Amino acid sequence: MTFDLFDALPAAPAIEPLAPGAMVLRGFARDIDTDLLAAVREVSRAAPFRHLITPGGLRMSVAMTNCGQAGWVSDRSGYRYDPADPDSGAPWPPMPTLFRSLAERAAATAGYPGFAPDACLINRYQPGTRLSLHQDRDELDLRAPIVSVSLGLPATFLWGGLRRADKPARVRLAHGDVVVWGGPSRLAFHGIAPLADGDHALTGNERINLTFRKTR
């Protein structure tokens, strides 16, 4: 056989472009899925998932928690990154090393070497949960990308443009997929369509999403 050399090479990650500076790394987090989910459970023991209130007074359908040096929170006074969990007053749990290294590897693979996230927002979706179109714009350093990891039930990611009115593409995100957006796409509108019912071997009827950000 003449193909032994090629067979020995590691498989190149399947990279699916979304827009300039934005792409899906298919299955990138799959091989560490159980460890990632165990770490999510650990974080949520110290800082439980909660439904935040928007500045307009609505209860978000996504349940959220955070780890890292800062956490994204929303209340009647607005959105912000807070070094402490407002529910307990304690600092957010530290970002697990596994999270940080995954985010760095994914960013580097997507063309953003040296990504140093200081915050990880953890979103929990159940059937019917949605996240309306928004930009991630509460970070001070917009040169750093966003790295978003999908675990559990699949979702329809709404990938819009730089204007709210741009019609979003519908992109299916499955367990282990990682989306990275930065550069010219850093302020693209995005969201999640209402989660369909399902049963995932590792998460049951839930989808967990990790988004890594450099907030300062």
38-42 long-range contacts, CB within 8 A, separation 24+: 39/96, 39/98, 39/99, 40/122, 40/151, 40/208, 40/210, 42/93, 42/96
Residues 180-199 that bind ligand SIN (CB under 6 A): 190, 192
Stretch that binds Fe ion, among 1-9, 19-27, 106-114, 132-140 (CB under 5 A): 132-140
Q: Which is nearer to ligand SIN, 2 or 215 (CB)?
A: 215
What is the spatial order of strands in the sheet that 63-68 belongs to?
Answer: 14-19, 22-26, 178-181, 146-152, 207-213, 119-125, 63-68
Q: Which is nearer to ligand SIN, 46 or 52 (CB)?
A: 52
* Two structure tokens written together for 70: 């800062």
Q: Which is nearer to ligand SIN, 185 or 211 (CB)?
A: 211
Residues 107-166 that bind ligand SIN (CB under 6 A): 121, 123, 131, 148, 150, 157
Q: By CB under 5 A, how many residues form the interface with Fe ion?
A: 1
Which does residue 144 bind out of ligand SIN, Fe ion, none, counting CB within 5 to 8 angstroms by kind? none
Q: With binding defined as CB under 5 A, does residue 136 bind Fe ion? A: yes
Residues 82-111 that bind ligand SIN (CB under 6 A): none
* In 21-126, beta strands by DSSP E: 22-26, 63-68, 71-75, 78-82, 119-125
Closest residue to ligand SIN: CB criterion? 209
Residues 27-46 that bind Fe ion (CB under 5 A): none
Q: Which residues of 1-22 are buried (b: 16+ CB within 10 A; e: fewer)?
A: eeeeeeeeeeeebeeeebbebb
Minimum distance from CB of 132 to ligand SIN (Å)? 10
Minimum distance from CB of 2 to ligand SIN (Å)? 43
Nearest to residue 123, comparing CAs of 105, 91, 148, 101? 148
For the chain, the maximum distance between any two Cα atoms, rounded to a whole number of angstroms, is 67
How many CB atoms are closer than 10 A to CB 105? 17
Taken as a whole, the chain contains a residue count of: 216
Q: Which is nearer to Fe ion, 79 or 98 (CB)?
A: 79
Which does residue 185 bind out of ligand SIN, Fe ion, none, counting CB within 5 to 8 angstroms by kind? none
Would you tell me which residues interact with ligand SIN (CB under 6 A)? 121, 123, 131, 148, 150, 157, 190, 192, 209, 211
Residues near Fe ion (CB under 5 A) are 136
